[in-house]
């Protein structure tokens, strides 16, 4: 699957912003860190850092992300959105929508979203999306938006992961052209990001793909607290409102939310 031909890939892109420039690395500790360093040094919006392997990849809440060689597609984008700081989640929405549409376009698989940042097929995880904002006071300076996508990951030796995750190769039943997938990912993400930059929220389209919404859930919060209820709505900033079993409701932003039948 790897390595990719960076020059051929760049020539293949039809984007105006995302992927210009594009840096491809066979292996790196973290694409997020490479993009963050470039942002601090003044790199322009649109930079894409792509790797075939991460040796220290991180997911949400600082968790490690298993990134074996020649198995995944790991991408980080440098974005400088004109957003208030409480709307950083919009970049997660734009990237999630772009990835879902790219997978459907290239693989023919219908993908939905598990709140807040996982892409899944038939209940099994295909990808995770992460957005990390940098601020000066209350001003949002930039966002590093990343995605780790299981393209050809073999979960045979990871039985626990195999229960909840799947690769695109396995789901599609055939090998995939990773360069085609990456080009589609950048193009479809840009189709959501540019309107977002102009002030249009991606919330409605993102919410329409949410597997979680309207279903009984269990939310595991920091400190060991658990909420049980129905995921009833998503707020403009991406928070999930849960109508509680015992009455009332609560909004969560950074918890693990699982469908009750899977809990």
Taken in order of first residue, the domains within the chain and their CATH numbers are 6-208 (3.30.930.10), 216-262 (2.30.30)
Q: What is the pLDDT of residue 58?
A: 59
pLDDT digits (tens, 9 = 90+) for 227-246: 999 999 999 999 999 999 98
| Contact residues for 96 (Cβ-Cβ < 8 A; gap 6+) | 113, 117, 119, 129, 206, 209
d(CA 30, CA 17): 22
Confidence category of residue 209, pLDDT binned at 50, 70, 90:
very high
Higher pLDDT: 138 or 16? It is 16
Tokens at residue 214, please? 């309207």
The whole-number average pLDDT for the span 39-60 is: 86
Of 55-59, 163-167, 248-252, where does mean pLDDT reach its minimum? Answer: 55-59
CA distance 98 to 191: 8
Q: Hey, what are 228's tokens?
A: 């049980």
**Alpha carbon distance 105, 181 (integer Å):** 9
Identify the band that residue 60 occupies on the pLDDT scale cut at 50, 70 and 90: low
- Are residues 203 and 93 in contact, defined by beta-carbon separation less than 8 angstroms? yes
Mean pLDDT of 14-34: 94
Q: Look at residue 59 and tell me whether its pLDDT is greater than 70.
A: no
Question: Strand pairing partners for 49?
Answer: 23, 76
Secondary structure class of 182 (helix, strand, coil): helix
Kind plus residue range of the DSSP H or E element containing 126: strand 124-136
Give how far Cα 23 sits from Cα of 6, 12, 50, 140, Å.
Answer: 7, 14, 6, 24
């Amino acid at each position: 699957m790897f390595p990719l031909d960076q020059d051929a890939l760049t020539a293949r892109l039809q984007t105006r912003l995302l992927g210009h420039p594009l840096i491809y690395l066979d292996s790196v500790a973290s694409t997020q860190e490479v993009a963050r360093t470039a942002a601090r040094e003044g790199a322009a919006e649109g930079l894409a850092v792509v790797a075939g392997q991460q040796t220290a990849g991180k997911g949400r809440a600082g968790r490690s992300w298993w990134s074996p060689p020649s198995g995944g597609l790991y991408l980080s984008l440098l974005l400088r959105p004109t957003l208030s700081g409480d709307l950083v989640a919009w970049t997660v929405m734009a990237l999630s929508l772009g990835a879902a549409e790219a997978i459907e376009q290239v693989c023919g698989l219908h993908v939905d979203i598990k709140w807040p940042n996982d892409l899944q097929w038939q209940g099994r995880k295909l990808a995770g999306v992460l957005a990390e904002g940098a601020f000066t006071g209350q001003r949002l300076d930039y966002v590093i938006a990343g995605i780790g996508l299981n393209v050809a990951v073999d979960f045979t030796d990871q039985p626990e992961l195999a229960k909840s995750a799947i690769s695109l190769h396995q789901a599609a039943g055939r090998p995939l052209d990773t360069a085609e997938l990456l080009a589609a990912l950048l193009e479809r993400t840009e189709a959501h990001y540019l309107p977002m930059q102009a002030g249009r929220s991606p919330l409605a389209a993102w919410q329409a793909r949410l597997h979680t919404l309207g279903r009984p859930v269990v939310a595991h919060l920091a400190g060991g607290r658990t909420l049980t209820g129905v995921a009833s709505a998503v707020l403009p900033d991406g928070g999930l409102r849960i109508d509680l079993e015992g009455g009332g409701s609560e909004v969560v932003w950074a918890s693990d939310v699982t469908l009750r039948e899977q809990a």
